[in-house]
Every structure is written in structure tokens, then in C-alpha cells.
């Protein structure tokens, strides 16, 4: 039986097991919008297309499934670009469907035409223009396969309106075959053995792990491996939750706002075991002085990440989970090589314990309500069981420092691109995936206004996301740099905000305000118990800074402490 392209599209999503999409309509989506009207796929209509992509991204990060969004041509499509670039930098599996003007009009500067395939080429893992109705099923199958396999990433599929109107057959392929795409999952055994030899003879080893651990679902294996050999672990921002934040082997995050113990451990280490991390400049500081005494083992599924920023001694291309399995096997079998290992790293562990004790993360409690205190309270009240999204800026760094992430997929943050406005829609997406979980966006007064319109989406769909606004009256992170490096000239960064309680109420959500430390516990408890979406406007010390801090371009050991 012949079906329209739009019907074929919908059936393809169903065949792919998609039960939720985030979307926004327009002229070019109408065929598909109409066809979706008659199916069981949950459709969350957002208020801005950037919100749709971030929501699908939050859904993907929290659930491990591919996030799906659908938007119209032209401005609808261009509005997705920040969302796509955010997911691309953090390797999040998304499929973004954009609709396009009629094939015959493409290239004519038609109304609401944008070359979205051209625009998104450098920020997607791959993208497609569907030129013929008979290609829809194959392209959708490939798009989902590419998005979720290898190093995951966003894939955009552009569907012209005449293609969604044309008639064709629905037959969903059961296999994908892309001759030019075969990711490497299995780590080379010889290299893994070499790595294990290096580990056996190390005296000051550190595991440096990133988002790859979470993407490959390897946090259980990582924890087992670290425990088996008592190797301390530091996480990148993207890696938080990949190793329990309350574990005695955990050093905290490394890098620009990393802990003293993590940055010193890297600096004095003789062996860095990097897994699913890409040596981003915010993590390494000055690369010439990064881990100057260490050999580097690097395990990553993406060969381009290896030896890109830091020269690697033992590269292993493969899936971190798979490679960790092999490493665990070798460490269990090769008792001989590891028999003196514990004794030989003992001094190292003692040194680290002392760093942790002497220089813990801390903040001064004088002068007003401290944002760090609020985050500690959120951790205490949620016992680390909430799903936390963040915006970007100081709010993000304090969350990374003071909330202990105990499980993977509980930290949703724009690490690579640093997108203000990411956290709130991402939290909405996570809440859609986990309706019963407590989902909190830890926000800044600046960032929340970048996608504040999504409160209407949350209210409409009864998604009880809690937004804790650490309201310092500043674009705080930029202000911090001005304080430290631009003689306290706060140009552009002191911005008045609306009354967030009233804003929340106007949207039909709950609004709370906190001014004093004594109110924090009570009001947060009440807001978290409430089954409505809520803004909690917390007026914190406006001039608080994030410490420790490694100034941009300095080496990790040059930390400014509190």
C-alpha cells in the first residue's frame, strides 16, 4: 500500500522505538505534524526550537537513549544550531529532523529556506538531505545508527515538504550497512597488555576519566578497576557521576576549577590513565606543563582525540567499557606483576590523602548567603539521588564542586560548548524521561533568561522541574574574570533581572524566594515536595568567586586558592 512520506516518517520512528519527540511546528512541518497527530509518540511542543534540541539532549543524557527533535524550515532550523553544537561538543546522541522547502525551490532563496545541511555540517556527526521519498526509511535507520554508535553525536535529517507529501512504500530496513563507517569497539589486546605493564610498574598512577565512561556505560567497570588496584580517580566536568563522588579514591574534578588534590595528583603523577576524556584546555591548563613526569595511556573510541592536545605514550582505540573489561581480566590473572603494586603506591596514596585533608574544597561563611552552601544543602536534601542540570558560569562550577554525583547520567551540563540556557530545557527533557525523579536545574540569574520561555512547556506538561536560581545579580563568571584580571571594571556584567517569583507565577508555576541561610532548608524542602514546576530565587552573595582557580593558560599547579 502506498503511503505519504509523512506517514512513512512516523512509522519509521515507531519502528525505531521512538516514544517521545520535542518539536515545534511551521509551514514545512505540516504534512508530518498532521501524520503525528494520529500516533502514540509523545510530542512535547516547546516554545523555542533551541529548547527542543536541549530538551532532547537532556532526555538523551539522562536516559541513554537517542533524543529526537523536529522543527520547521528556515528560522526553525537555524534556531536549533546552538542545541546541535552543544550536543556535538559533548558527544550526545541526537537526531534532529528539520523540514525544508519543496525540492524544486531549494537554492532559490525561497520563503523560509535555509541551507541547514550546509550550516550544520561542521557541528553534526553527519547530516542528510532527503531528496526522494524512497530514501526516508534508509536515511532514518542510518541516522539513528550513526547517532548512537561509535563516538555518539547529533545527526540532522532535512526533509523537504514535497518529499513528505509524495507517495511511497513503507519497509523499514532491519540492518544498516554503511561501507565507510565502522567504529572500533574492541581495544587492541597487545596495547592493553602494554598499558597493564605500565600500570604495574607505576608508583604514582591516576585515572583521569571523562564523559566517555558515561556514554559507554562503563562506570561500574571503572569503579571495580579503581578499587581492584586502589588507583585514585579524577573526573572531568563531563565525567562527573562516572565514578562515585563520595568514594574514598575520588579526587574531585580536575582543571581550571578543579580540586587541589586532583590538580596536584596530575602534576606529580608518573602515569596518567586517561579514559573517555579528550584533554580539553579547561582540564589540562597549560599543556606543556600538564603531567610533566607522567607517561600517558589514553583509551578512547575516537582516534582523533588521541595525541591531539597531549602526546600519548600508549594509545588504545576502543570502547572504554570493553577495554576496562580486558584490563580487569589482566589484573585478576596476572597476580605476579601486581603483587608488589599496593606496597609501591602506598606512599602516593598517603600523599594524596594529605592533600585532600589539607586543601579541601571550601568557602568562607562570612557575609551573606553563600551559593556553595545552597548546593551542599541540595545534596544533603536529595542524598545525591536527584538528576541535576546546570546552566553555565559560576553556578555550573559550584555544582561540579559541591554536589557529589553518585551515579552516571545524573549530571547534565554543557561542558564543551558552555551554553548558557542549556540547563532548563535539558532538565525538562530529563523530567520527561523520568517523570518520578526529582530533576533540578541549578541556574544563574543570567542563564535562566536565555530559555526561560520553556517554563510554559513545563507547566503545560506538568513537568515539575525545580530551578534553583543562584541569583547574584551578575553574569558572575565573567564578573569574576573582571575582578581578577580587569581591575574590577564590571562592564556589561551587572544586569537587572525580573522578579523571578512573579515570573514563575505568571507562567502558572510556583515561585519561592530565599534571602537567608536559615530559610534554605525549609524552602527547598517545600519546593521539592511541591509537584509543580518551580523557580526558587536564591539571593546569594553577589561577589562570591569560584576557587580554586587556575588562570587561563597557566599550569595546573598554579592554583589560586580561596
Q: Which residues are catalytic?
A: 49, 111-112, 161, 477
What is the footprint of other proteins within residues 111-150 (CB under 8 A)? 117-118, 121-122, 125-126, 129, 146
Residue closer to ligand TPP by CB (options 172, 481) is 481
| The binder of other proteins chosen from 27, 183, 368, 542 (CB under 8 A) | 183
Binding footprint of ligand TPP, residue count (CB under 6 A): 20
Of the candidates 27, 26, 18, which has an alpha carbon nearest to the alpha carbon of residue 48?
26
Please give the Cα distance from 95 to 146 (Å, whole number): 9
65 binds, among other proteins, ligand TPP, Mg ion, none (CB under 5 to 8 A by kind): none
Residue closer to other proteins by CB (options 180, 531) is 180
Residue 447 makes contact with ligand TPP by CB under 6 A = yes
What is the footprint of ligand TPP within residues 392-411 (CB under 6 A)? 392-395
Residue closer to other proteins by CB (options 129, 458) is 129
Minimum CB distance to ligand TPP, residue 381 (Å): 20
- Residues contacting 42, CB < 8 A, separation 6+: 19, 20, 21, 432
Burial class (CB in 10 A: 0-12, 13-18, 19+), 28: buried
| The binder of other proteins chosen from 58, 285, 315, 444 (CB under 8 A) | 315
What is the footprint of ligand TPP within residues 373-392 (CB under 6 A)? 391-392
User: How many alpha carbons fall within 13 Å on the CB side of residue 27?
Assistant: 11
Q: Encode 325-381 in three state secondary structure.
A: HHHHHHHHHCHHHHCCHHHHHHHHHHHHHHHHHHCCCCCCCCCCCCHHHHHHHHHHH
186 binds, among Mg ion, other proteins, ligand TPP, none (CB under 5 to 8 A by kind): other proteins
| DSSP conformational letter for 448 | G
Query: Which of the stretches 240-248, 255-263, 300-308, 483-491 binds other proteins when contact is defined by CB under 8 A?
Result: 300-308
With both helix axes pointing from N to C terminus, report the angle between 320-333 and 219-229 in degrees, rounded to the nearest 10.
Answer: 30
Burial class (CB in 10 A: 0-12, 13-18, 19+), 497: middle
| The binder of Mg ion chosen from 150, 245, 252, 444 (CB under 5 A) | 444
Please give the Cα distance from 351 to 261 (Å, whole number): 9
| The binder of other proteins chosen from 179, 357, 383, 487 (CB under 8 A) | 179
Between CA 452 and CA 454, with CA 453 as vertex, the angle to 5 degrees is: 90
Please give the Cα distance from 103 to 5 (Å, whole number): 14
Rounded alpha-carbon distances, angstroms, from residue 308 to 192, 287, 304, 321: 20, 11, 7, 22
| Residues in contact with ligand TPP, shown as a per-residue x/- string from 117 to 156 under the rule CB under 6 A | ----------------------------------------
- Which single residue brings its beta carbon nearest to Mg ion? 444
| The binder of other proteins chosen from 184, 337, 437, 453 (CB under 8 A) | 184
Q: How many CB atoms lie within 10 A of CB 560?
A: 12
Query: Which of the stretches 101-109, 248-256, 277-285, 438-446 binds Mg ion when contact is defined by CB under 5 A?
Result: 438-446
Q: Where are the alpha helices (DSSP H) in 16-104?
A: 30-36, 49-63, 75-78, 81-89
302 binds, among other proteins, ligand TPP, Mg ion, none (CB under 5 to 8 A by kind): other proteins
Please give the Cα distance from 264 to 555 (Å, whole number): 11
Q: Return residues touching ligand TPP (CB under 6 A).
A: 391-395, 418-421, 444-447, 470, 472, 474-478
Q: Which residues bind Mg ion (CB under 5 A)?
A: 444-446, 472, 474, 476
Residues contributing to the site for other proteins (CB under 8 A): 117-118, 121-122, 125-126, 129, 146, 178-191, 302-304, 306-308, 315-318
Amino acid at each position: 500500500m502506498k503511503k505519504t512520506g509523512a506517514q512513512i516518517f512516523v512509522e519509521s520512528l515507531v519502528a525505531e522505538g521512538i516514544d517521545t519527540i520535542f518539536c515545534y511546528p511551521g509551514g514545512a512541518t505540516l504534512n508530518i505534524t498532521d501524520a503525528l497527530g494520529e500516533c502514540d509518540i509523545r510530542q512535547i511542543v516547546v516554545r523555542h526550537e533551541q529548547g527542543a534540541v536541549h530538551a532532547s539532549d537532556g532526555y538523551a543524557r539522562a536516559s541513554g537513549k537517542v533524543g529526537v527533535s523536529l522543527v520547521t524550515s528556515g528560522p526553525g532550523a537555524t534556531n536549533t544550531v546552538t542545541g546541535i553544537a552543544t550536543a556535538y561538543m559533548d558527544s550526545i546522541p541526537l537526531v534532529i529532523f528539520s523540514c525544508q522547502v519543496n525540492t524544486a525551490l531549494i537554492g532559490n532563496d525561497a520563503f523560509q529556506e535555509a541551507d541547514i545541511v550546509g550550516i550544520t555540517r561542521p557541528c553534526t556527526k553527519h547530516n542528510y538531505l532527503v531528496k526522494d521519498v524512497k530514501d526516508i526509511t534508509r536515511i532514518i535507520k542510518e541516522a539513528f545508527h550513526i547517532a548512537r554508535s561509535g563516538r555518539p553525536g547529533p545527526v540532522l535529517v532535512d526533509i523537504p515538504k514535497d518529499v513528505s507529501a509524495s507517495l511511497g512504500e513503507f519497509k523499514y530496513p532491519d540492518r544498516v550497512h554503511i561501507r565507510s563507517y565502522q567504529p572500533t569497539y574492541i581495544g587492541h589486546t597487545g596495547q592493553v597488555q602494554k598499558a597493564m605493564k605500565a600500570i604495574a610498574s607505576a608508583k604514582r598512577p591516576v585515572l583521569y576519566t571523562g564523559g566517555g565512561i558515561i556514554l559507554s556505560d562503563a562506570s561500574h567497570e571503572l569503579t571495580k578497576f579503581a578499587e581492584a588496584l586502589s588507583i585514585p580517580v579524577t573526573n572531568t566536568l563531563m565525567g562527573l557521576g562516572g565514578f562515585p563522588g563520595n568514594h574514598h579514591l575520588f579526587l574531585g574534578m580536575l582543571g581550571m576549577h578543579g580540586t587541589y588534590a586532583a590538580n596536584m595528583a596530575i602534576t606529580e603523577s608518573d602515569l596518567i590513565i586517561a579514559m573517555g576524556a579528550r584533554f580539553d584546555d579547561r582540564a589540562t591548563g597549560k599543556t606543556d606543563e600538564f603531567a610533566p613526569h607522567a607517561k600517558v595511556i589514553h583509551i578512547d573510541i575516537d582516534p582523533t582525540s588521541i595525541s591531539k592536545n597531549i602526546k600519548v605514550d600508549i594509545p588504545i582505540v576502543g570502547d572504554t567499557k570493553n577495554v576496562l573489561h580486558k584490563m580487569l581480566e589482566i589484573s585478576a590473572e596476572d597476580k605476579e606483576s601486581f603483587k608488589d603494586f599496593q606496597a609501591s603506591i602506598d606512599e602516593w596514596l598517603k600523599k594524596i590523602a594529605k592533600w585532600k585533608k589539607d586543601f579541601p574544597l571550601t568557602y568562607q561563611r562570612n557575609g551573606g548567603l553563600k551559593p556553595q552552601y545552597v548546593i551542599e544543602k541540595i545534596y544533603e536534601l536529595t542524598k545525591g539521588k536527584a538528576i541535576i542540570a546546570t546552566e553555565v558560569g559560576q553556578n555550573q562550577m559550584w555544582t561540579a564542586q559541591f554536589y557529589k554525583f553518585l551515579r552516571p547520567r545524573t549530571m547534565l551540563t554543557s561542558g564543551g560548548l558552555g551554553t548558557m540556557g542549556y540547563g532548563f530545557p535539558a532538565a525538562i527533557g530529563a523530567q520527561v524521561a523520568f517523570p518520578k525523579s526529582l530533576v533540578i536545574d541549578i541556574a544563574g540569574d543570567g542563564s535562566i533568561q536565555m530559555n526561560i520561555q520553556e517554563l510554559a512547556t513545563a507547566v503545560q506538561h506538568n513537568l515539575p522541574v525545580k530551578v534553583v536560581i543562584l541569583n547574584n545579580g551578575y553574569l558572575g563568571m565573567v564578573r569574576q574574570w573582571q575582578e581578577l584580571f580587569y581591575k574590577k571594571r564590571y562592564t556589561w556584567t551587572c544586569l537587572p533581572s525580573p522578579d523571578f517569583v512573579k515570573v514563575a507565577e505568571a507562567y502558572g508555576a510556583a515561585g519561592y524566594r530565599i534571602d537567608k541561610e536559615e530559610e534554605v532548608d525549609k524552602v527547598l524542602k517545600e519546593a521539592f515536595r511541591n509537584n509543580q514546576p518551580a523557580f526558587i530565587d536564591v539571593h546569594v552573595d553577589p561577589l562570591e568567586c569560584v576557587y580554586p582557580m587556575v588562570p587561563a593558560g597557566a599550569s595546573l599547579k598554579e592554583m589560586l586558592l580561596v
